[in-house]
Amino acid sequence: MPQRAPIADYLDALTGELGFDRSLAHRVRREVEDHLWEATTANGDTSIEAQARAVMSFGAARVIAGQYAALSLLRQARWNGAIIVLASGALYIAMKGRAAWYGLMQWALSDALRPVTAVVLAIDRAAYILAFLLGVVGWAYISSRRVSSRFDTACRSQLKWSLRLAMAAVCPMVVSVIADGAVTALRLLEERPPISVFLIPLLSIAIELAFAALLVIAIGKTLRNMLRAASLQSS
Amino acid sequence: MLKGHLDMIVLAALSSGPAHGYAVIQEIHRRSGGAFELPEGTIYPALHRLEQAGLLSSHWTTAESGRQRRVYALTKRGTRALAEERVIWQRFADAIGGLLGHPGHAAARTNR
């Protein structure tokens, strides 16, 4: 059976362990490949044994990947926090823009719709405020954490809390977007205005949906990556 | 103990100029007289962490061998952080030196 090169095997193992962050895995692979060949050829020997020695001195792939996990997942969690705050801002602008447009078009609600929309808008407002507050708290929390050099219990706990806060913010945000969509749909179905009039409300709802989807995808990705990294060693 | 000071050690190794990871390890080995035995791979997450903290910058170059190589350099913030670490370490070393080696050593320095 042909013997594989230790460096190639090690790089494959390390890339696999870094599966929680593909762009990081790509960069680390290139960097570590250079290191291992540099270490191997330092004594003018490129034999399998010299490669194996270089790999041995580098350290176990799981341990090295674990040290990257803290860095990568914290960066992802901070990014999620920033998206929540950004999405909150976008939702606010979309809501205010829509209301201003209705005013400009003198597009008032009919008496029949008024009680229903009052309830939906109250839910919308409460959900938005809750999402915004949780988002800001989550962002402030994870931004104030120091980057740990180890993927240890404390680091995992910080990441879990950050993820819980992000998920807690996303749920009311989705409720708020659904409420906005429902009220806008009711208006459009009742009035059936020309496309030039309802384009702005539809666009604003599309923006809200896009941000909510972006957030759900980003948090889902971080959750998946955290689960992938969960088995890595802490030191 | 080494782990707690790894960032300072990496910053110090880069104080003489930009270097790639392997060269940083060689520099640490040379300047410490081979005192620190740690898995070489440990340096790379530290380099990434310091870069993320804004203490290092990095860019890809092509080595003579034709391989891609990431070269790291201290940023202004990194240089300042290293200077601060040096002061803290000097105080600590003086205090421990006073306690263990030369009674009154630390006090003498304090009174200077």
- What CATH number is associated with residue A137? 1.20.120
- pLDDT for A1: 44
The structural domain count of chain A equals: 2
Give phi and psi for B73, each to the nearest 5. -145, 150
Residues A76 and A48 in one domain: no
- Which of A17, A37, A59 marks a domain boundary? A59
A235 found inside a domain:
no
Out of B39, B48, B68, closest to residue A58 by CB: B39
Of B7, B41, B65, the CB nearest to A58: B41
Interface with chain B: mutation pick from A34, A73, A78, highest number of B CBs within 10 Å = A34
CA gap A131, B36 in Å, rounded = 49
Domains of chain B from N-terminus onward: 3-111 (1.10.10.10)
Q: In A, which residues are within 8 Å of B52 by CB distance?
A: 71, 75, 147
Instruction: Using an 8 Å CB-CB cutoff, list chain A residues near B49.
Output: 71, 147, 149
pLDDT value at B34 more than 70: yes
Alpha-carbon torsion, ordered A85, A87, A90, A92, to 10 deg: -70
In this structure, what token pair is assigned to residue A19? 């599966």
Looking at residue A234, its pLDDT comes to 52
Residue in A closest to B5 by C-alpha: A149
Note the pLDDT of residue A46. Answer: 80
Is residue A209 assigned to a domain? Answer: yes
Closest Cα in chain B to A75: B52
Distance in angstroms (rounded) separating the CA atoms of residues A49 and A27 = 26
pTM: 0.77
Query: Residue A233: its pLDDT value, please?
Result: 55
Q: In one letter, which amino acid is A110? A: S
Mutation site for B-interface testing, chosen from A10, A67, A145 by largest number of B Cβ within 10 Å: A67
What average pLDDT does the segment B82-104 reach?
Answer: 85
- The answer on A154 and A41 residing in a single domain is no
Nearest by CB to residue A149, choosing from B3, B20, B68, is B3
pLDDT at B69: 93
* Rounded mean pLDDT, A88-109: 85
**ipTM higher than threshold 0.85:** no
Question: Has residue A193 got a pLDDT over 90?
Answer: no
Tokens of A101: 């447009």
Lowest mean pLDDT segment, chosen from A30-39, B41-50, B62-71: B62-71
Averaging pLDDT over each range in A95-104, A110-119, A172-181, B1-10, which range is the top one? A172-181
The 10s digit of each residue's pLDDT in A194-203 is: 777 788 888 8
Q: What is the mean pLDDT of chain B?
A: 86
Beta bridge partners of B58: B72
Mean pLDDT on B62-81: 92
Nearest to A6 by CA among A55, A74, A71, A44: A55
In whole angstroms, give the CA distance from residue A165 to residue A136: 9
Q: What pLDDT is attached to residue A2?
A: 47
Q: Coil, strand, or helix at residue A106?
A: coil
Same domain, A141 and A209: yes
Write down the pLDDT at residue B108. 53
pLDDT of B106 strictly over 70: no
Percent of chain A, pLDDT > 90? 42
d(CA A147, CA A58): 23
Q: What is the mean pLDDT of residues A159-182?
A: 91
Q: Which domain holds residue A127?
A: 72-229
CB atoms within 10 A of CB A212: 21
> Which of A177, A83, A185 lies closest to A139 in space, CA to CA?
A83
Helix (H, G, I), strand (E, B) or coil at B56: strand
**Token digits of residue B85:** 């670490």
